[in-house]
Amino acid sequence: MPKQKTHSGAKKRFHLTATGKVKYARPTKGHFLTTKSQARKRKLRKGSYIAGKNAANIKTLLAK
């Protein structure tokens, strides 16, 4: 059986931590930044984790 290919879109948006959690960057930080408050942009800097079934689906896309 052939190897499963890594999903190109997923590998750009998610990565796995050493403990196996799925980490991603928060959305809406790309443009229109002048209308967003400084506190909102500061909170968007920090990454976040995906849990549960969604994390399992992303791990499948990443072929892990």
| CATH code of 24's domain | 4.10.410.60
Domain membership of residue 29 (yes or no) is yes
| Residue 3: inside a domain | no
Indicate whether 19 belongs to any domain: yes
Q: Rounded to an integer, what distance in angstroms lies between the CA atom of residue 47 and that of residue 24?
A: 6
Q: Give residue-wise pLDDT tens across range 4-62.
A: 899 999 999 999 999 999 999 999 999 999 999 999 999 999 999 999 999 999 999 99
Q: Which helix (H) or strand (E) holds 22?
A: strand 22-24
Query: Do the domain assignments include residue 16?
Result: yes
Torsion of CA 21, 27, 12, 6, to 10 degrees: 60
pLDDT at 21: 96
pLDDT value for 64: 81
Does residue 20 belong to any structural domain of this protein?
Answer: yes
Q: What's the pLDDT at 15?
A: 95
Residue 1: per-residue pLDDT? 82
Helix (H) or strand (E) holding 49: strand 48-50
Check whether 2 has a pLDDT greater than 90. no
Instruction: Report how far residue 62's alpha carbon sits from residue 23's, in angstroms, rounded to the nearest whole number.
Output: 12
List 14's β-bridge partners, or say none.
24
How many structural domains does the chain have?
Answer: 1
